[in-house]
């Protein structure tokens, strides 16, 4: 079944939506950083590290990420090969949104961020030499260039989702006549919440 372009696109949508659920949970945990005291965040981290359901979901999340990235790049490359002689003049903005035309670039920027994110947080978290998770997370925002990179990455993800969320439901065949307005609005809200939510945390700790 995975042979056809339509089936590939459906798996792209499923992996994408799974990542959306993950990112919303992740945001929920991170927002506890803004609560007074360090305990709530430490408790939330402890909960995530010990909860059996989350432990089962972690490898699945890994697979979803890797699948989404590889399939996204693969589809982009094959689609590019379908027009070996390009147009001298092509007015892309007249027919489609910037976000929809640049999914690969917003995606790749998020990937670049993920690599740093792994190096800075995930590996220290997992290797277990962390005194305070709170200090590790907030400490990196001391540097302006890290904060800026972080904010840009989440703006990119917000743009990715402003098209991606609605697009995923289209790929899954949800009737457009009935649901388009709802999906577009909720997609934009999710994009905004994710983009702003993570950015606000970073900016808050840069100034405090």
Partner 1 sequence: MKLTLKIWRQKSKNDKGKFVEYILDGVDGDMSFLEMLDFLNEKLINEGKEPVAFDHDCREGICGMCSLFINGQAHGPDKLTTTCQLHMRRFKDGDTIVIEPWRAEPFPVIKDLVVDRSAFDRIQQAGGYISVNTSGRTVDANTIPIPKKDADRAFDSATCIGCGACVATCKNASAMLFVAGRIGHLARLPQGRIEAADRVQKMVAAMDAEGFGSCTNTGACEVACPKGISLADIALLNREFIKAHL
Locus of tokens 């990235």 = 69
User: Which of 39, 19, 29 shows the shortest CA–CA distance to 197?
Assistant: 29
User: Which of 105, 104, 53 shows the shortest CA–CA distance to 79?
Assistant: 104
Q: Which is nearer to partner 1, 6 or 60 (CB)?
A: 6
DSSP string, 145-180: HHHHHHHHHHHHHHHHHHHHHHHHHHHTT--HHHHH
CA distance 129 to 132: 9
CA distance 154 to 32: 18
Q: Residue 94 interacts with partner 1 (CB under 8 A)?
A: yes
Q: Which is nearer to ligand HEM, 75 or 203 (CB)?
A: 75
Residue 165 interaction partner, one of partner 1, ligand HEM, none, beta carbon < 5-8 Å per kind: ligand HEM
Q: How far is the CB of 9 from partner 1 (least distance, A)?
A: 6
Residue 176 interaction partner, one of partner 1, ligand HEM, none, beta carbon < 5-8 Å per kind: partner 1
Q: Which is nearer to ligand HEM, 16 or 197 (CB)?
A: 16
Q: Using CB under 8 A, pick the residue from 24, 34, 92, 119 that binds partner 1.
A: 92
Q: How far is the CB of 64 from partner 1 (least distance, A)?
A: 19
On whether the CB atoms of residues 20 and 121 are closer than 8 A, the answer is no
User: Which of 48, 56, 41 shows the shortest CA–CA distance to 25?
Assistant: 48
Q: Residue 181 interacts with partner 1 (CB under 8 A)?
A: no
Q: Using CB under 8 A, pick the residue from 53, 59, 89, 131 that binds partner 1.
A: 89
Label residue 65 exposed, middle or buried (CB < 10 Å: 0-12, 13-18, 19+): middle
Q: What is the binding site for ligand HEM (CB under 6 A)?
A: 9, 12-13, 16-17, 19-20, 23, 68-69, 72, 75-76, 103-104, 107-108, 110-111, 114, 157, 160, 164-165, 167-168, 171
Q: How far is the CB of 14 from partner 1 (least distance, A)?
A: 11
Angle between helices 5-31 and 144-171 (to 10 degrees): 140
Report the interface residues with partner 1, using CB under 8 A.
1, 3-10, 75, 78-79, 81-92, 94-97, 100-101, 103, 163, 166-167, 170-177
């Amino acid at each position: 079944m995975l042979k056809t372009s339509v089936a590939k696109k459906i798996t792209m949508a499923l992996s994408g939506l799974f990542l959306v659920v993950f990112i919303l949970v992740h945001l929920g945990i991170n927002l506890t950083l803004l609560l007074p005291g360090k305990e709530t965040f430490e408790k939330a981290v402890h909960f995530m590290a010990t909860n059996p359901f989350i432990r089962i979901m972690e490898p699945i999340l890994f697979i979803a990420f890797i699948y989404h990235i590889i399939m996204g790049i693969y589809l982009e490359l094959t689609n590019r090969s379908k027009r070996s002689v390009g147009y001298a003049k092509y007015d892309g903005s007249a027919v489609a949104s910037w976000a929809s035309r640049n999914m690969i670039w917003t995606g790749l920027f998020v990937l670049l961020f993920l690599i740093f994110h792994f190096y800075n947080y995930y590996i220290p978290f997992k290797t277990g030499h962390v005194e305070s998770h709170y200090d590790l997370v907030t400490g990196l925002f001391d540097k302006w260039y890290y904060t800026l990179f972080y904010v840009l990455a989440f703006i990119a993800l917000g743009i990715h989702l402003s098209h991606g969320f609605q697009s995923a439901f289209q790929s899954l065949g949800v009737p457009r006549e009935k649901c388009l307005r709802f999906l577009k609005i909720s997609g934009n809200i999710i994009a905004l919440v994710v983009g702003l939510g993570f950015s606000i945390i970073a900016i808050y700790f840069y100034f405090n």
